[in-house]
Chain A
């Protein structure tokens, strides 16, 4: 949510203005094409790393609260990654960890007032999904060689169906990065548009006089509920992205 949305004269709501990119640091940002989106990526990354490094600084056998939290984060993704991919996929654990926390921090940072949600940009989510897609293809070719292409013909299916099955399998394989990126992007956009809409209603109703003031409480209550929902959606989408990545990579490393 940004404060950028212009609720002009109490008659319109600009629900999409919050997704606009603006250069930060004036002309320097413009020259470097550095908008608030990479700025919040940087903030997210620094926060996650600070959480891990400060949390693990005591490195004690009996952890304190922050260290326990950092260890829980580690264990959660480690169990997810190794549980899905097996020990062969251990090399991809840091990648899955980075993906999950990059997305989670982006989703949650975006819930703060005056911040920006970089995961609400299809360019960002598509870049992440394409990275996953390319890595899974490269891993498949490295672990299975040309046997990778056997995946496009389901085992046990009649051969005469192959002209139908193979194109379908190829299409479903190619649609992976699309569905992966649009799922995250659409969830974040929808949530933030809704928040903006209801916040706009409050301002509009407040302009209607006494009864408007009373009615204006309702959208605020809804927004509180929506914020709770967004907290759930934020971690859920990060989890879904991470576990789908693990599933794709498992196919790549499984023999």
Chain B
């Protein structure tokens, strides 16, 4: 097994890489070495054992962990997506409810304003009607008083005229005076 080349220092780098050194005898090419065949047989056994342990136990174990993780992430994503859809729906619902409430409130305000206006108008109409009636009453009373006053005017005028005439001339003709007053006041 000691057929290795003895080379001089400065020739060594040239010789050791392929060339003469290989030709002179690499231990790897010594087919008469029983250990060379032995390592192939042992290597086959070890590699086969390695393959069996890997394919039966080690690799399926890793595959299980990885696929568990994949399914778990997928499930979590699904849950998150569902939750998002639900919250979207809830927020849309909330929005529409708020719209409805606002519309209703607006309608209420309008209705109340209308009612207030109508009742105020009615009240004003009523007051105006009452005032008109009062005015009419008062006018009627005034007219009556005036009539009364006007009707009593000829008598007063006649009386006054008689007094004046009797003071002035000392006699009186009731008929003439009354007709004269009537003529003047007509």
- A residues contacting B by CB (< 8 A) are 8, 11-17, 19-23, 32-35, 37-38, 41-42, 45, 48-49, 52-53, 56, 59, 61, 67, 70-71, 74-75, 93-95, 97-98, 102, 118, 120-124, 127-128, 131, 185, 189-190, 193-194, 196-197, 200-201, 204
Bound complex: CA A70 to CA B59 (Å): 10
The answer for the CA separation of A35 and B30 in the assembled complex, in Å, is 14
Q: Closest 6 A-B residue pairs measured CB to CB?
A: A33-B38, A38-B42, A94-B55, A21-B35, A37-B39, A35-B35
- Is B118 in the interface zone, CB < 8 Å from A? no
B17–A193 CB distance below 8 A: yes
Kindly list chain A residues whose C-beta atoms are within 8 Å of the C-beta of B47: 41, 45, 98, 102, 128, 131
For residue B116, CB closer than 8 A to chain A, the reply is no
Is A13 in contact with B38, judged by CB distance below 8 angstroms? no
- Residues on A with C-beta less than 8 A from B1 are 20
Do the beta carbons of B27 and A16 come within 8 Å of each other? yes
Chain B contact patch, size range: 35 or more
B16 contacts A15, CB within 8 Å? yes
How many interface contacts (CB-CB < 8 Å) are there between A and B?
156
Q: A14-B4, A38-B46, A56-B61 are in contact. List 7 more A-B contacts (CB 8 A).
A: A12-B7, A17-B27, A19-B27, A52-B61, A53-B61, A118-B39, A190-B17
Using a CB–CB cutoff of 8 Å, the interface residues on chain B facing chain A are 1-2, 4-9, 12-13, 16-17, 21, 25-29, 33-44, 46-47, 49-51, 53-55, 58-59, 61-66, 68-69, 72
Nearest-Cβ distance from residue B68 to partner chain A, whole angstroms: 7
Chain B residues contacting A67 (CB-CB under 8 Å) are: 65
CB distance from A89 to the nearest CB of B (A): 14
Contact (Cβ within 8 A) A120 B9: no
Kindly state the separation between the CA atoms of A124 and B28 in the bound complex, as whole angstroms: 10
A residues near B38, Cβ cutoff 8 Å: 32-35, 38
